[in-house]
């Protein structure tokens, strides 16, 4: 009887440890996503405009992520847009 009780306690500890590990992993992933979003520049700070400038547009920039995102500027971004961080791909 005591053996069964100890075995159940050990199982319960493993389940609780697993749940704690999953909770911690979830917090870390959420934190990374928030950090990545915070690292992007606001559209205003980079003079983003929804139309090209000097023949350059987001669709030819190395940071453009089709269909409407940018690696360095907060979205949504239009393929025809432009900002002062433009870098030809």
Which residues lie near ligand SF4 (CB under 6 A)?
48, 58, 61, 63-64, 70, 72-73, 77, 81-83, 85-86
Closest to ligand SF4 by CB, 14 vs 48, is 48
Residue 41: CB minimum distance to ligand SF4, A: 8
Closest to ligand SF4 by CB, 28 vs 72, is 72
CB burial string 15-44: b at 16+ within 10 A, e below: eeeeeeeeeeeeeeeeeeeeeeeeebeebe
């Amino acid at each position: 009887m005591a053996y069964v009780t100890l075995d159940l306690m050990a199982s319960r500890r493993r389940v609780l440890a697993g749940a704690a590990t999953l909770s911690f992993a979830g917090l870390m992933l959420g934190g990374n996503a928030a950090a990545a979003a915070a690292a992007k520049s606001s559209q205003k700070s980079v003079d983003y405009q929804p139309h090209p400038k000097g023949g350059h547009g987001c669709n030819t920039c190395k940071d453009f992520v089709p269909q409407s995102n940018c690696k360095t500027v907060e979205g949504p971004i239009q393929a025809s847009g432009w900002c002062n961080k433009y870098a030809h791909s």
